[in-house]
């Protein structure tokens, strides 16, 4: 009789250890799937819902000017307007990082040159304020540089009336 009880206890222990092992494996799989999904959503960081201000700016840009198409033929470059070099402090807690940048603006047409000459201090101010509001992490990647260029194009185009900026070409880009 004692043997039968011992055998029943070992069978119960074996079946309960199998159940515990199965539960642990299922929990690990769920944790891995959850972590993968969380990483995907956190790293993609693309908000599909534009803010009302972004929507208004996009409508204004589309109504007043042709919007730059990144897929346009790059062999047809418009007139180039060179800008002087910019040296700005980047936004940081200790203020030790600065950016040295030189850029050229691609214009929609030559008639825009006169307006840019007239508004050059305003354009430089827009660029300096935008650059100095960025952190090293925001502009250190290619994606960050593209976002910066898009933001500058949009802000400059908002003050132009005789044409629009099609693209910005970064000639120098040094962060220290």
Q: Residue 157: which pLDDT band, with cuts at 50, 70 and 90?
A: very high
Q: Is 101 exposed, middle or buried (0-12, 13-18, 19+ CB in 10 A)?
A: buried
CA-CA distances (angstroms) from residue 161 to 107, 112, 131?
Answer: 12, 8, 23
Q: Rounded to whole angstroms, how far apart are CA atoms 9 and 140? A: 64
71, burial (CB in 10 Å: exposed 0-12, middle 13-18, buried 19+): exposed
CA atoms within 13 Å, Cβ hemisphere of 119: 17
pLDDT band at 71 (very low <50, low <70, confident <90, very high): very low
If phi > 0 it is left, if psi is from -120 to 50 it is alpha, else beta; for residue 99 that is beta
Strand-pairing partners, residue 174, are 100
Mean pLDDT of 155-166: 94
Task: Report how far apart, in Å, the C-alpha atoms of 91 and of each of 33, 37, 40, 134, 163 are.
Answer: 37, 32, 28, 5, 32
Three-state secondary structure call for residue 59: helix
- Give residue-wise pLDDT tens across range 138-154: 998 999 999 999 999 99
pTM of the model: 0.59
Residue 170, CA distances (Å) to 40, 91, 109 in order: 31, 20, 20
CB atoms within 10 A of CB 160: 19
Hey, which CATH number is domain 65-175, 3.30.479.30, 3.90.180.10, 3.30.2320.80, 3.90.10.10?
3.30.479.30
Domain ranges of the chain: 1-46, 65-175
Q: What percent of the chain has pLDDT over 70?
A: 75
Structure tokens at 150: 């898009």
Reported as a pLDDT band with limits 50, 70 and 90, residue 57 is low
């Amino acid at each position: 009789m004692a043997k039968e009880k011992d055998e029943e206890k070992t069978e119960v222990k074996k079946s309960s250890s199998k159940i515990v092992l199965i539960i642990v494996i299922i929990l690990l799989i769920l944790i891995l799937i959850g972590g993968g999904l969380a990483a995907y959503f956190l790293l993609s960081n693309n908000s599909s819902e534009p803010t009302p201000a972004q929507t208004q700016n996009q409508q204004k840009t589309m109504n007043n000017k042709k919007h730059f198409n990144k897929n346009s033929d790059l062999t047809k470059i418009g007139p180039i307007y060179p800008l002087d070099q910019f040296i700005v402090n980047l936004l940081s807690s200790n203020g030790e990082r600065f950016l040295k940048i030189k850029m050229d603006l691609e214009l929609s047409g030559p008639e825009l040159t006169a307006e840019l000459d007239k508004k050059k201090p305003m354009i430089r101010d827009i660029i300096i304020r935008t650059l100095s509001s960025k952190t090293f992490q925001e502009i250190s990647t290619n994606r960050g540089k593209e976002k910066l260029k898009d933001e500058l194009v949009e802000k400059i185009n908002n003050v132009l009336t005789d044409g629009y900026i099609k693209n910005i070409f970064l000639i120098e880009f040094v962060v220290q």
